[in-house]
Structure 1
C-alpha cells in the first residue's frame, strides 16, 4: 500500500501507524501536494526503516530528479507525467532507482498496451479531466474491470478515486489479478485538498486489509 502526497511529520507518522509499505513525496511542479526539500527530509526521517520513500515527478527535468534523490535519498522514482520510455530507462539506469511508471487507463487497449512500457512496476490511474495539467490526484476512478486486459507479469498498484468507502470493492476486483501489488491513495485520505486526515489514513488501511481476509 502506498500513501502519496505526504507533506508533514504528522502525515508520515500516520502512514507509519497505518503500516504502509510506500510513502510518496510529490515533487511535481503543478501539484498542490508538492514538498520542499526541507519538508521532504522531515517526512523521510520518520518513514526511514518503516516504509520506502517514493519521489513522484511529472515532467521534471532529469537533472532535477537526480538532484532531488541526492538531497533526500529516495528509494524509488514515480514518473507521473508524459515522460517517454527512453527517459524512464535513463532514470532507472543512471540514477539507479527502480521506476514506478504511472499509466492512465480508460480503455481495454490502454491496459493491453501497458506491458510495452518501460518500468520496474506500474501504477494504473484514471486519466485526468480534459485540459487539466495535473496528471494525478484528482479523486477520479476508472473502470476497474479493465484490469482484466492487462496480461503482463510486472506488478501494478491501483490508483485513482480510492476512498475508505470503496477500497474494499477495489481490493476484491483488483486483488483477483495475479500482478496486483497494492493500492495508491492520496486525495481519498484528505480532509481537504492537499491536507491529510489521520482518521481517514488509518481507516483506509483497516478497510483495505479487512477486504483481503
Structure 2
C-alpha cells in the first residue's frame, strides 16, 4: 500500500501545528466555521498557514460558505485545498471550483451504504471525505467523534480518491485502515484533550499508528 495520507484538522495554535507536522502529517486543517470550537480567525489562520508553508498543505474547511466569505479568506490566508463540509450541492461545488481555482474536497456524511452513493454526484472534486453523518439538527457537521460503520466501506471502490474521517483516534485508526482500505485518514476530536484543544502526544500516536497500518 502507498504511504498513508494524514490530515490533522482543527488546528488553532502554533504548538499543535508543529506537533502535527513533526509527527508526519502532510495536511493541516483550518476551520472557518463560527459554531466550531476549532474556528480560527483570519489573522490567526494567516499566521498558521505562513508558519506551515513548505512543510504541510493547508486545507481550509468551510460549511456552506458564500463567495464573499471564501474570497475574503483567500485574500489573507494561503490555502492549498478548500474542503466543503456543509450541504453544498454538486452545482455549488462546481461553482466554487471554477471561482477559486483550488482543489476542492467534498465531505459526505455516512450512516448507511446509500450515503456512499451520494459521492458519485460530485465528479470533478479532488477528493471525497467520508465522515460520520451527525444527528439531525446537530450544530456541527463534523468533528463530533461519531464513527462510520467501517463494514459499509469494506472493499469500497470509487472513481474519486477518498479520505476516511469520523471518530478516528490513535487506538482505532489502524483497524479502520485495515477494515476499509483507506489510504488517507483525517482526525480532529480524536487527538484532543478537550474540544478544540489538540494533544501533541495523541497527534504523534495517531500518525504513528496510521503509518504502521499502511
Alignment of 1:21-40 (within 5 A): 21-40=26-45
Alignment of 1:183-194 (within 5 A): 183-194=185-196
Partner of 1:159: 165
Query: TM-score, length-normalised on structure 2?
Result: 0.93
Alignment of 1:168-207 (within 5 A): 168-175=174-181, 180-207=182-209
Question: What is the rounded CA distance, in whole Å, between the counterparts of 2:49 and 2:17 in structure 1?
Answer: 8
Alignment of 1:33-182 (within 5 A): 33-118=38-123, 119-148=125-154, 150-175=156-181, 180-182=182-184
Name the SS for the 1:188 alignment partner. Answer: helix
Question: What is the rounded CA distance, in whole Å, between the counterparts of 2:156 and 2:32 in structure 1?
Answer: 29
Partner of 2:3: none
What is the deviation of 1:106?
1.1
- Give the RMSD, CA atoms, in angstroms: 1.3
Which stretch shows the higher mean deviation, 194-203 or 86-95? 86-95
Name the SS for the 1:160 alignment partner. Answer: coil
Task: Describe the superposition over 1:45-82 as per-residue Cα deviations: whole angstroms up to 9, x where unpaired.
Answer: 22111111000000121210122012101100000001
Question: What is the rounded CA distance, in whole Å, between the counterparts of 1:165 and 1:83 in structure 2?
Answer: 32
Partner of 1:20: 25
Question: What is the rounded CA distance, in whole Å, between the counterparts of 1:92 and 1:189 in structure 2?
Answer: 30
8 Å Cα contact 2:50/2:78 also seen in 1: no
Higher RCO, 1 vs 2 (CA within 8 Å, ≥6 residues apart): 2
Question: What is the rounded CA distance, in whole Å, between the counterparts of 1:112 and 1:130 in structure 2?
Answer: 20
Unpaired stretches in structure 2, ≥5 consecutive residues: 1-5
